[in-house]
Amino acid sequence: MSSIVSPIRRPLIEGNKTYHDITEDICAPTERAPSLAWIIAFILAVTFLAIYLVCLVITVWGGIGTWDLNRTIGWGWDITNFVWWVGIGHAGTLISAILLLFRQKWRTGVNRAAEAMTIFAVICAGQFPLIHMGRQWMGFFIFPYPNSRGPLWVNFNSPLLWDVFAISTYFTVSLLFWYTGLVPDLATVRDRAKGIRKKFYEVASFGWTGKAKHWQRWESLSLILAGLATPLVLSVHTIVSFDFATSVIPGWHTTIFPPYFVAGAIFSGFAMVQSLMVIARKVFDLQEYITLEHIESMNKVILLTGMLVGTAYLTELFIAWYSGYIYEQYAFFNRVFGPYWWSYVGMMSCNVLAPLIFWSKKARRSIFITFFMSIFINIGMWFERFVIIATTLARDYLPSSWSYYSPTWVEIGLFLGSLGLFFTCFLIFARVAPVIAIAEVKHILKSSGDQYIDKNSKHYVEVVEKELA
Amino acid sequence: MKNITYGLYDDETDLLSAVRQANAEHLEIEEVYSPFPVHGLDPLLGLKESRLHITGFIYGLIGTLTAFLFMTWVFTRSWPIIFGGKPYFSLPAFIPIIFELTVLFSAVGMVITFYVISGMGPGAKPVILDKRITDDKFCLVFDTGTDALSPSNAEQFFKKTGASEVYSKTI
């Protein structure tokens, strides 16, 4: 059978794979003993996780005084890290939901890992607002529950509370979406496993058998969850931007924030997916499933969102000047030339100038450039959040309260440690579950496998000629 | 207990033509299993479109109403407070949470419904006819306990339609 596929499409699965090969190749990383590269990475990640725990204990025990925040600068690395992690968490849903709605076949190679990345990034993000509350054991006060204080409710008009709802909904929906997609693949692993592993996958795969009706419901569910997750993912970073945009601080009080934050989130999220996939495809020997075609497609998204972000930066500057409002003008003058000028330079060079290299097809298809660019972009996007948060707060209305902020080692430890938390989760995931959606890759084999390309293009020409005649 | 005969096919096109053949011969198909969703199979099997999306809409509506009514009740009845000189009932400020809860209720409700109606969940004990069904085999099952179809007739059918393996089992 041939599928109708445009002849300009390049193959997404290389190496003349059969259905059985796909199962073997993708299940292999969960079945064989961990490789040396994995063990070294895991030890490193756990070390950083330990640093995180130490800094967490110090913060909880000693209070927020262990950080260098002051009366002027009340949000520093903590909220910067929060926004950065939430942003990274956006790519997974974008790849799996929006690209599913657009019927982009290349999503099948990367969606599983990207969704897992989303979940772990949101776990990391959620830590920071909680830690920075000061009295972390009172954290449950953010939920509207019947209490003995009246009941006194939370403020539903506050963007900070909207954030609570947005992040927790996003986490729940992403988790459900990811796991429902994972169930058929866990069943594949179950049917190959023996002994204790079999017991584990029997429970984890929920008794999936692959009945026609179940597949029909599963596809319907995936599509509707994608339809729900698409506005959800846009709403989440919009609401995160409301934390700033609804305030009265010059430099924060701007209507451009929601689209600007969403574009930035997609930008940094794709960069993180690239960092992970470039390594994962090598370590797990999956180059035939995560091909240069996939990497190039993601680099195109990075180029587009990078330019959106760049446009937003310049628009902000223009509007600040055009507003004729001196506080707004000063806020932006201060961002570019103030005491934190270096973070603005970091942001501009990493986010706006560097991605322009992806205009070149050669660069888009280069593993080396892609990997370094992805790291650059992640650094640049961290700087962006730092520029917005700390730089703006450092110079407020009253020059007498102007201040400067640099992190203590505890804050740095918390940030580096959260990377440890993220990578520990991701490395465990890569050992336990198939990192590529097996069923979905099999589903596109006949339209995107390299052995079908010639057959499909002949078929395509036939169909077109028949239509024209 | 049920006597069944099933055949394993190596390719989804073989499966599809076998299902077409079975329909032509008016054989009643018990079940079809596949390693991935086979498009074009549902109409041949006479499966109606799933109604999950309708439940999703209803759950979403419950979420919308829950969020809207609860916040309205809190701010106008339970404990009215003026925030920043705004009215007690300030609908625009409720919209983000209303939206989030709509999505949350709809997604959680639909996923739970999916697992419940499909009889799936942790601890479910499925009948696995062949371990390769989740790998690369496409399985067509006939109920051969009735008078309509005998196991040998079913076997003939499978041979004719190009099944690579045929088994009979009591489940």
Q: Find, among A117, A90, A411, the residue nearest to A269 by Cα.
A: A90
Mutation for testing the B interface, residue in A4, A143, A145, A156 having most B CBs under 10 Å: A156
Secondary structure E strands in B13-157 = 29-33, 138-143
Of all residues in chain A, the one with the smallest CA distance to B123 is A203
Answer for the pair B133, B15: CB distance below 8 angstroms, yes or no: no
A235:B96 CB<8 A:
yes
A138 in B contact zone (CB under 8 Å) = no
* Cβ-nearest to B37 among A183, A192, A215: A215
A211 in B contact zone (CB under 8 Å) = yes
Helix then strand then coil, % of chain A, to nearest 5: 75, 0, 25
N-term to C-term CA, chain B: 5
**What pLDDT, on a 0 to 100 scale, did the predictor assign at position A350?**
92
Which residues does chain A have within 8 Å of residue B93's beta carbon, measured at their own beta carbons? 156-157
* Cα–Cα distance for residue pair A327/B137, rounded to 1 Å: 69
Which residues does chain A have within 8 Å of residue B23's beta carbon, measured at their own beta carbons? none
Answer for the pair A219, B37: CB distance below 8 angstroms, yes or no: yes
- State how far residue B49 is from chain A, nearest Cα, in angstroms: 8
Which residues does chain A have within 8 Å of residue B36's beta carbon, measured at their own beta carbons? 184, 215, 439-440, 442-443
Which residues does chain B have within 8 Å of residue A221's beta carbon, measured at their own beta carbons? 52, 110-111, 114
With residue A260 as reference, give the H or E element that holds it.
helix A257-283
* Cα–Cα distance for residue pair A35/A348, rounded to 1 Å: 39
Answer for the pair A216, B34: CB distance below 8 angstroms, yes or no: no
**What pLDDT, on a 0 to 100 scale, did the predictor assign at position B28?**
87
Mutation for testing the A interface, residue in B47, B134, B171 having most A CBs under 10 Å: B134
Which residues does chain A have within 8 Å of residue B134's beta carbon, measured at their own beta carbons? 23, 184, 187-188, 190-191, 208, 210
A286 in B contact zone (CB under 8 Å) = no
A313-317: which pairs have CB atoms within 8 A and are 24 or more residues apart? A313/A347, A313/A348, A313/A351, A313/A352, A315/A256, A316/A254, A316/A256, A316/A260
Domains and CATH numbers, chain A: 19-448 (1.20.1630.10)
Q: How many A/B residue pairs have CB atoms within 8 Å?
A: 180
The encoded tokens of residue B121 equal 């969940």
Q: Concatenated DSSP letters for A300-342?
A: HHHHHHHHHHHHHHHHHHHHHHHH--HHHHHHHHHHHHSTTHH
Mutation for testing the B interface, residue in A23, A185, A215 having most B CBs under 10 Å: A215
* Cα–Cα distance for residue pair A154/A136, rounded to 1 Å: 17
**What pLDDT, on a 0 to 100 scale, did the predictor assign at position A3?**
64
* Cβ-nearest to B53 among A165, A213, A220: A220
Return residues 34-63 of A near B (CB < 8 Å).
Answer: none
What is the SS3 assignment for B29?
Answer: strand
Q: Find, among A336, A322, A289, A303, the residue nearest to A437 by Cα.
A: A289
Residue ranges in chain B modelled with pLDDT below 50 = none
A232:B103 CB<8 A:
yes
A144:B33 CB<8 A:
no
A165:B96 CB<8 A:
yes
**What pLDDT, on a 0 to 100 scale, did the predictor assign at position A407?**
93
B111:A213 CB<8 A:
no
A225:B31 CB<8 A:
no
What is the SS3 assignment for B9?
Answer: strand
B100:A183 CB<8 A:
no
A176:B133 CB<8 A:
no
Q: Concatenated DSSP letters for A166-197?
A: HHHHHHHHHHHHHHHHHHHHHHHHHTT--HHH
A144 in B contact zone (CB under 8 Å) = yes
Neighbours of A454 (CB within 10 A): 11
Which residues does chain A have within 8 Å of residue B126's beta carbon, measured at their own beta carbons? 207-209
* Cβ-nearest to B78 among A153, A180, A232: A153
Single-letter code of the amino acid located at B104 = L
What is the SS3 assignment for B168?
Answer: strand
Which residues does chain B have within 8 Å of residue A216's beta carbon, measured at their own beta carbons? 37, 42, 47, 49-50
B123:A214 CB<8 A:
no
* Cβ-nearest to A206 among B37, B96, B115: B115
- Domain B3-48+125-170 classified CATH 3.30.70? yes
Neighbours of B17 (CB within 10 A): 16
Mean of per-residue pLDDT scores for chain A: 90
A190 in B contact zone (CB under 8 Å) = yes
Domains of chain B, residue spans? 3-48+125-170, 52-117
- State how far residue B124 is from chain A, nearest Cα, in angstroms: 5
Per-residue pLDDT of chain A (469 residues; tens, 9 = 90+): 456 777 777 888 888 888 898 898 888 888 888 889 899 999 999 999 999 999 999 999 999 999 999 888 989 999 999 999 999 998 888 888 888 888 888 888 888 989 999 999 999 999 999 999 888 898 888 899 888 888 889 999 999 999 999 999 999 999 999 999 999 999 999 999 888 999 999 999 999 999 999 999 999 999 999 999 999 999 999 999 999 999 888 889 889 999 999 999 999 999 999 999 998 888 888 888 898 889 999 999 999 999 999 999 999 999 999 999 999 999 999 999 989 999 999 999 999 999 999 999 999 999 999 999 999 999 999 999 999 999 999 988 888 999 999 999 999 999 999 999 999 999 999 999 999 999 988 888 888 888 887 787 888 888 888 888 8
C-alpha count within 13 angstroms, C-beta hemisphere, residue A413: 17
Of all residues in chain A, the one with the smallest CA distance to B100 is A166
B47:A242 CB<8 A:
no
Return residues 413-452 of A near B (CB < 8 Å).
Answer: 439-440, 442-443
A231:B90 CB<8 A:
no
